[in-house]
Amino acid sequence: MELGSGNYGCSHYKRRCNIRAPCCNEIFDCRHCHNEAKNSLDINLLERHDLPRQEVVKVICSLCDTEQDVQQYCINCGVCMGKYFCAKCKFFDDDTSKNQFHCDECGICRTGGKENFFHCKKCECCYSKVMENKHHCLDRPLHHDCPVCFEYMFDTTKGITILRCGHTMHYKCVKEMEKHCRYSCPICSKSIGDMTRHWEKLDQVVASTPMPETYQNKMVWILCNDCGANSLVQFHIVGHKCLSCKSYNTRQIQGDPTASCESSMTEIVR
pLDDT in tens, 32-41: 999 888 877 5
Element (H, E) at 127: strand 125-128
Confidence of residue 49 (pLDDT cuts 50, 70, 90): confident
Would the pTM of this model clear 0.75, i.e. be above it?
Answer: no
Q: 212-269: which CATH architecture?
A: Single Sheet (2.20)
pLDDT in tens, 104-163: 999 999 999 999 999 999 899 998 898 888 888 888 888 889 999 988 888 888 888 989
For residue 222, what are the CA distances in angstroms to 8, 85, 230?
A: 58, 55, 6
Confidence of residue 3 (pLDDT cuts 50, 70, 90): very low
Predicted confidence at residue 138, as pLDDT, reads 87
Element (H, E) at 268: helix 261-269
Does the pLDDT of residue 83 top 80, yes or no?
Answer: yes
Element (H, E) at 234: strand 230-234
CA 196/CA 219 separation, integer angstroms: 24
- Which of 139, 168, 174 shows the shortest CA–CA distance to 153? 168
Domain boundaries, given as residue ranges, for the chain:
17-96, 102-179, 212-269
Does the pLDDT of residue 5 top 50, yes or no?
Answer: no
